[in-house]
Chain A
Amino acid sequence: MKSQTITQKLANPTRFMALSGRLLPVVSALAAAVIGYGLYLAFFNSPVDYQQGETVRIMYIHVPSAWLAMAGYAMVAMSGFGLLVFRHPLADVSAKAAVPIGAAFTFLALVTGSLWGKPMWGTYWAWDARMTSVLILFFLYLGLMALRNSMEDEALAGKLTAVLALVGVVMLPIIKFSVDWWNTLHQPSTGLGSTLDPSMRIPLYWMAGGFTLMFFAMHLKGMRNEILRRRVKALRMSQVERAQAGGSDTIAAPAE
């Protein structure tokens, strides 16, 4: 199994730093290029919707954000699984880096959605099934961040967050399903219509691809930052220990 040997190789943070250092500029440049082209298509080379007018262009930001909101949670949960089951050393770093990014995309999806909703539905917020379940997803992200921040012991915080992330994976479909059910009782689903014209679908694909690349770039950068932060912390701790050992010697010496 080749993929496993790659993940095993990457367990060495130094090797990961070397590889990600080379990968990061490429992914970042690619993300910028694809998003740039996607934005050009979205703004200048896609038709205006006959009903929605110019506001349809919000979709090109909104849909990729919503997709990454979910993909981000999948990333967090898989990393949590890798930490608890395989004890992969980088799994916790990956989970920690992915949570704020996923939360940011969830927030972006909510904000762009409500900005689109004001001219279209006449309201910023309508307890629609989709909106509600994305809001709940946002709460789960907040819970993951809050739980991690609440503990001194970083290793323990990482593992507990992983447990919560996995509980969230079990509960998310149930929550989604129950929200759908709850909503259909009160108001019919809005339904954007999945039959999208190619002139709009192709810019959307470019934007989705570009956003995904951007997610990977930010995730890699976040992981690198986290690894460096841990190294700095370890260096500081060893410095303090050395200073303490040296300090106690000099204090102890006169007493003897």
Chain B
Amino acid sequence: MTAFLALVRRDLLLAVREGGAVGTALGFYLIVVALLPLGLGPDLKLLSRIAPGVLWIALLLAALLSLGRIFEADQDAGTLDVMAMGQLPLEAVVAGKALAHWISTGIPLALLAPILGILLNLEISAYPVLVATMLIGTPAVSFLGAIGAALTLKARRGGLLMALLVLPLYLPTLIFGISAVSAATLGPDGLVQSLTVLGALSLASVVLGPIAAAAALRLQMQ
């Protein structure tokens, strides 16, 4: 457990001290959301209707951009091999790195979302639910993303390939995340169900992600 926590702490420290990594994802999120009204026209009614979807899709894209970071630097530096040979099972290593990715990218992106919501004229009453869905849903983004990052570790043009592999897997999270927000603006009926399913998706990916990603990493280290 201490090794696991040390690994998470190390990854978080690296994310902060390297700089740029977290900032780039946030900047990308901001620019995508800002581009949209320019493309669609400044109709505030339209914007407030599509705001939850736009915020979620832009969040997925911004997170996708930073997924490569999970294993790439350690693969280049050789530290990934050391971690694989250490006492911690590779599954736990992957889980720790994905957890660090969630804390360093998922949470900041989720917290930025309400500010971008203002730009899109999203109802203020939807903000708490929006942030809640994103906090509950983004673990799935990091842990499923770890599978994509592990699979494309040695691939040519890994970044583009990862989008093709990972985005279909994000579909359930996207659907239930948006349905939770729209349930909050329309009425409280489906809200609890959507949030519960979103939580279930995240928990399932916390299990599936490390197993599949560790299998992929092991195959590449042989």
Footprint of B on A, CB under 8 Å?
A: 84, 136, 139-140, 142-143, 146-147, 150-151, 153, 156, 159-160, 163-164, 166-167, 170-171, 174-175, 177-179, 181-182, 185
B61 adjacent to chain A (CB < 8 Å): no
Known: A159-B219, A182-B179. A171 touches B164 (CB 8 A): no
Q: How large is the interface on B (under 10, 10 to 19, 20 to 34, 35 or more residues)?
A: 20 to 34
Inside 8 A of B158's CB, which chain A residues have their CB? 150
Q: Are B161 and A179 in contact (CB under 8 A)?
A: no
Known: A163-B151, A185-B179. A178 touches B161 (CB 8 A): no
**C-alpha gap A170/B201 in the complex (Å):** 12
B92 adjacent to chain A (CB < 8 Å): no
Q: Are B179 and A156 in contact (CB under 8 A)?
A: no
Q: Are A179 and B151 in contact (CB under 8 A)?
A: no
**C-alpha gap A146/B220 in the complex (Å):** 17
**C-alpha gap A150/B162 in the complex (Å):** 11
**C-alpha gap A171/B168 in the complex (Å):** 9
Known: A150-B161, A181-B175. A167 touches B168 (CB 8 A): no
Q: Are A174 and B152 in contact (CB under 8 A)?
A: no
User: How many residue pairs at the A-B interface have CB separations less than 8 Å?
Assistant: 77
B42 adjacent to chain A (CB < 8 Å): no
Q: Are A143 and B164 in contact (CB under 8 A)?
A: yes
Inside 8 A of A156's CB, which chain B residues have their CB? 154, 219-220
Inside 8 A of B203's CB, which chain A residues have their CB? none
**C-alpha gap A185/B175 in the complex (Å):** 11
B156 adjacent to chain A (CB < 8 Å): yes
Inside 8 A of A171's CB, which chain B residues have their CB? 168-169, 172
In B169-222, the 8 Å CB interface with A consists of 169, 171-172, 175-176, 179, 197, 201, 204, 208, 212, 215-216, 219-220
Q: Are A164 and B171 in contact (CB under 8 A)?
A: no
Known: A178-B176, A179-B175. A167 touches B164 (CB 8 A): no
Q: How far is the CB of A128 from chain B (nearest CB, A)?
A: 14
Inside 8 A of A147's CB, which chain B residues have their CB? 151-152, 155, 161, 165
Known: A143-B165, A160-B219. A175 touches B172 (CB 8 A): yes
Q: How far is the CB of B155 from chain A (nearest CB, A)?
A: 4
**C-alpha gap A178/B137 in the complex (Å):** 14
**C-alpha gap A139/B171 in the complex (Å):** 12
Give the residue of A139, A163, A182 whose beta carbon is less than 8 angstroms from that of B175: A182
B157 adjacent to chain A (CB < 8 Å): yes
